[in-house]
Amino acid sequence: MPAKPKNWKQKMQAKPPHIVRLDKDFAGVPAGARLLISCPLDVEDYLRTRVPPGETRSIQQMRRELAALHGADAACPVSTAIFLRTVAEAAWDELESGAPVTAIAPFWRVVDPQSPLAARLRAGKTWIEQQRAAELDVGG
C-alpha cells in the first residue's frame, strides 16, 4: 500500500541544512563550490528574522544570505525554491485554520507576485501584492 502523501506541515520537517561540495557545475554554481542544501525550517526562520515588515528580498538574495549564514559558497536554487513553496503553503494552511497574518511566515516578502512561483501558490499573486502594500502602508 502506498504511503499517504504528506501535508505541508509535515513537509516542513525535512532534513536539516547541510553542505555538499559540487563535483561538476550545477545551476550556475561552479564545480568545487560548497553548496548549501537548506530546509523549510531554515527558510522559514530566514523570513521571520531577516526580512523586516515592509521590506522584500529576491529569492537570489535570500539564497546568497542563507549561504553566507551557513559558510557555503552558494545555496541550491532548486531546493531553496521548493522549500520556499513549502513554507508558503504551510503558512497558507495556518491562515486558513484561523491564524492571523502576523503569526505566519511572511513568504510574501520574498515571493515576487509576478513570478511563476506566485502563480502556483494557493495565496496567489493578488494576495501577495495586497500583503506587500499593507506592510508598506503600516511602515510608511
Q: In this predicted structure, what is the pLDDT of residue 58?
A: 97
**In which residue ranges of the chain is pLDDT below 50?**
none
In order of start, what are the domains of the chain with their CATH numbers? 8-139 (1.10.10)
Q: What is the pLDDT of residues 89-124, one digit of tens each?
A: 999 999 999 999 999 999 999 999 999 999 999 999
Q: Computed from CA positions of residues 13, 55, 115, 118, in that sequence, does the dihedral angle turn out positive or negative?
A: positive
